[in-house]
Amino acid sequence: MPASASLNADLPAAPNGQALAEAGEGEKLYLVRGTPAYRRASLAFFMSGFSTFALLYCVQPLMPIFARDFGVSPAASSLSLSLSTGFLALAIFCAAAVSERFGRRSLMFVSLLGASICTIACAAMPNWNLLLIIRALEGLLLGGVPAVAMAYLSEEVDPKGLGAAMGLYIAGNAFGGMAGRVVTGVLAEYFSWRLALVGMGALGIVAAIGFLVLLPPSRNFVPRKSSLRYHVDAWLGHLNHPALALLFAIGFLLMGAFVTIYNYIGFRLVDAPYSLDQTELGLIFTVYLFGIVASWAAGLLGDRFGHFAVMLTGIVLAFTGVVITLATPLPLIILGIVLLTSGFFIAHSVASALVGRMAKGTKGHASSLYLLGYYLGSSVAGSVGGHFWSADGWWAVSAFTGTMLALALAAALLSRSITQRS
């Protein structure tokens, strides 16, 4: 009997079509593309990505309303998003450590459910400061999803199908980002922003329950106790990997540029000469549909043609989109947003997969570092961009975001060079 067959005989049968796939360090029970378990897991993570981004970014089209109703500046109104993403970035570290002890699936479910309840609670807040406190708490809760999701996929999915699974998860991010913006924009126009937030929170609860029902339990993860020193050493180990560290920086730069454009394009388009209402502004965010397709396609193309080549293409596409938004005609502005959105999700999807592939052990810690940079980019650049908007309008915002994307391109080229030499 072959050695591999004897190893397989000692392992329990895989449920729901789950199949064995060879891992570098031995045999593991992986979710293999084409099996029912792989499809269920992919759908579950699509739902978690949808819920995370819908809950996180549903306030973005409401920023001009917040500025008007609460009497705050555009930069201050962006705190409704920046505080959430900032606290989420910090919570990712805690979430990675907690998931090592208690497991991935249950932590993600509790996080999604808690964040959904917070979104509903925001609708009842009587003043700006209380709303910001709840949004900060929501960010803390959502920290239990992104890093843990990437770790689960890296541990449980056959490496040959990881790019496609990660791409579908990022596509869920894109769909959630679109739904959060469009639905809240329309509901705020015809009813109120408070009812819009209640609707998004209820949708998040449904997605959380669906996630729990669909996701197969972990097969390759064993909960373990660990010390603070263990986690610090794991994070430092990944930071000392030059190519990985550059990917973390790319996450910061990509997300910073992307969120800055989306934060302040609303302020530009509700003013003359465009004077869009909330429904029209919300409908512009349907360009996220391009991000859904781009994320899914990027995963497949990265697996086939090389991840760095696809990531570089995405960054260039996003930069081109920012340049085009400088045009005055509304159709060209929308085209620029389409290109920015597509390029961002292509690059982010591939960068996420690269982190999972390049990390040696403690993949949850590597994912947490990437997502720390990613969400800090949203928080820091998203708020700083408001000062560029106030200083010199859209030209200043475009220069700020274009510079970040140029730096992301340079970092991607350097990371590829280091990887090819090693």
The rounded radius of gyration (Å) of the Cα atoms in the chain is 21
HEC secondary structure over 132-187:
HHHHHHHHHHHCCCHHHHHHHHHHHECHHHHHHHHHHHHHHHHHHHHHHHHHHHHH
Enter the pTM of the model.
0.73
Task: List for the chain the helix, strand, coil content (%; round to 5).
Answer: 80, 5, 15
Report the DSSP beta bridge partners of residue 27.
Answer: 22
pLDDT confidence of residue 186: 86
In angstroms, the CA 288 to CA 264 distance is 17
Burial class for 417, CB neighbours closer than 10 Å (0-12, 13-18, 19+): middle
Question: What are the residue ranges in the chain where pLDDT is below 50?
Answer: 1-26
pLDDT confidence of residue 1: 35
For 206, residues 6+ apart whose C-beta sits below 8 A from its C-beta are none
Report pLDDT digits (tens) over 42-76: 888 888 888 998 999 899 889 889 988 999 888 88
Which tokens go with 419? 């990887």
pLDDT confidence of residue 226: 66
Give the number of residues written for the chain: 422
Helix boundaries (H) for 286-380: 288-305, 307-324, 330-358, 363-376
pLDDT confidence of residue 410: 97
pLDDT confidence of residue 83: 92
Burial class for 408, CB neighbours closer than 10 Å (0-12, 13-18, 19+): buried
Alpha-carbon distances of 32 from 17, 35, 37, 103, 186, rounded to whole Å: 9, 6, 8, 21, 40
pLDDT confidence of residue 8: 30
